Amino acid sequence: MPTWWFVRHGESLAQLEQWPGPDPETPLSALGERQADGLASKLKDLPIQRILVSPYLRARQTAERAMAKRGQAPLGTNRAHR
């Protein structure tokens, strides 16, 4: 039976009230980038077959940073959240 993991994005600039732009374009903060990098170590030994990512920038950045540390890239974007 497959195992599903749901991961929330790292801290964003909007959470720090440092982002005046549209919500979907909110980037990660410096801490959020470190959190995404740390996620890679948590995922390192898991057999990951598919990655679904929200189209929001902070979610894509989290997945891309975490998967890059594994030598992989996110495989898809979940467009249902638009």
**Within-domain flag for 74:** yes
Q: What pTM did the predictor assign?
A: 0.80
Decide: 67 and 74 in contact? Cβ < 8 Å. yes
Q: What is the DSSP letter of 46?
A: S
Q: How far is CA 49 from CA 2, 20, 53, 76, 77, in A?
A: 10, 36, 13, 11, 14
**Within-domain flag for 56:** yes
**Within-domain flag for 11:** no
Decide: 41 and 68 in contact? Cβ < 8 Å. no
**Within-domain flag for 62:** yes
Number of independent structural domains in the chain:
1
**pLDDT at residue 76 is higher than 60:** no
**Within-domain flag for 18:** no
**pLDDT tens readout for residues 18-35:** 999 999 999 999 999 999
Confidence at residue 75, expressed as pLDDT on a 0 to 100 scale: 57
Residue 63's domain comprises 25-43+50-81
Q: Supply the mean pLDDT for the chain.
A: 84
